[in-house]
């Protein structure tokens, strides 16, 4: 399987609270599903992970075997990165699940939302690109 | 073709909102790019400037599909699925967008992408996945 390493600046961007991420997956009919994902973080330098709090289209697309994803990462105020990857695994127990649950569930409660982490999805990184003007599109890894 | 609800048009008109455009190539590989120039021309039409679209433009020509997500600072968010209409290199709308883009970025837009709105969903946390139209 093709793999790539996340550059240091992308890992740093993912650690910033004010960053925003959007995850694109592929629907059954070939159209794109694109949703904000607040909990996205790097796991080492070859994987991303995020908490699945809804059994929605994104989770269904991955579980049904359409595993190619793209993640747009916005770092305030004017930087951006795109990580392309392949869905690897969904965890509904274990260390990673507990870590995300302890971080995300209290945030959901604070926002008054009646939902909890159902699983944690892990994505293997395959390509990384800059999205910052004027170097948007340049491959970083 | 459908009409975007008022709140979606307002979100797309918000210059502080994050706007991302996802496309897909003919091999089924998605691409996601931050495109600050996404704008609702009218409730049925989305446009954005061709600055450094690269893969986005290639994919639009291959598969004719794109999806926009707009996320406001209050975390209100919408997903708009579109069919690619056409590129316009010259014209009143293109000139207007190019002028706005140049004022903000000092970059010259190569043209404007037109898309027809087909489906709209809420992707706000409180109602994620709800189809609006």
Q: What angle do CA B24, B29, B124 make, to 5 degrees?
A: 65
- The verdict on ipTM greater than 0.90 is yes
Question: In angstroms, what separates the C-alpha of A54 from chain B's closest C-alpha?
Answer: 8
Tell me how far apart the alpha carbons of residues B121 and B79 are, in angstroms, rounded to a whole number. Answer: 5
pLDDT tens per residue across span A29-47: 999 999 999 999 999 999 9
Mean pLDDT of A74-97: 96
Bridge partners, A33 (sequence order): A25
In this complex, do A32 and B33 lie within 8 Å of one another by their Cβ atoms? no
Q: What is the largest CA-CA distance in chain A?
A: 42
Count chain A–chain B contacts defined by CB atoms under 8 A. Answer: 104
Tell me the domain boundaries of chain B: 6-127
pLDDT tens per residue across span B35-93: 999 999 999 999 999 988 999 999 999 999 999 999 999 999 999 999 999 999 999 99
Domain A8-130 CATH (choose: 3.30.70.360, 2.30.30.40, 2.30.110.10, 3.60.120.10): 2.30.110.10
Cis geometry, peptide bond prior to residue B31 (ω within 30 degrees of 0):
no
pTM, two decimal places:
0.96
Residue A13 is predicted with a pLDDT of 97
The fold adopted by the segment(s) B6-127 is Pnp Oxidase; Chain A (2.30.110)
Tell me the domain boundaries of chain A: 8-130
Cis geometry, peptide bond prior to residue A74 (ω within 30 degrees of 0):
no
Given A26, A35, A108, which is nearest B123 (Cβ)? A35
Alpha helices in A21-137 (DSSP H): 57-63, 95-110
CB B90 within 8 A of CB B57: no
Phi, psi (degrees; rounded to nearest 5) at B132: -95, -40
Residue B26 is predicted with a pLDDT of 97
In this complex, do A22 and B67 lie within 8 Å of one another by their Cβ atoms? no
């Amino acid at each position: 399987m093709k793999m790539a390493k996340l550059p240091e600046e992308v890992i740093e961007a993912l650690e910033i609270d004010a960053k925003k991420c959007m995850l694109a997956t592929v629907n059954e009919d070939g159209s794109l599903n694109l949703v904000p994902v607040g909990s996205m973080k790097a796991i080492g330098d070859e994987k991303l992970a995020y908490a699945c709090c809804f059994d929605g289209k994104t989770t269904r697309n991955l579980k049904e075997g359409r595993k190619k994803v793209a993640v747009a990462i916005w770092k305030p105020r004017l930087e951006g990165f795109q990580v392309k990857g392949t869905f690897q695994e969904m965890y509904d127990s274990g260390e990673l699940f507990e870590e995300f649950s302890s971080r995300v569930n209290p945030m959901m409660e604070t926002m008054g939302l009646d939902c909890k982490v159902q699983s944690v999805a892990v994505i293997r990184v395959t390509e990384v690109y800059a999205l910052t003007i004027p170097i948007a599109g340049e491959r970083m890894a | 073709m459908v009409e975007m609800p008022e709140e979606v048009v307002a979100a797309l008109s918000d210059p502080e909102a994050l706007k991302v455009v996802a496309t897909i190539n003919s091999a089924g590989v998605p691409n996601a790019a931050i495109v600050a120039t996404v704008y609702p021309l009218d409730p049925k039409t989305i446009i954005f400037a061709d600055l450094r679209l690269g893969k986005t433009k290639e994919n639009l020509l291959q598969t004719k599909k794109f999806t926009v997500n707009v996320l406001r600072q209050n975390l209100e968010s919408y997903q708009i699925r579109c069919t690619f209409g056409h590129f316009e290199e010259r014209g009143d709308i293109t000139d207007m967008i190019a002028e706005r883009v140049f004022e903000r970025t000092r970059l010259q837009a190569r043209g404007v992408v037109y898309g027809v709105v087909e489906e709209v969903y809420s992707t706000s946390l409180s109602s994620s996945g709800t189809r609006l139209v």
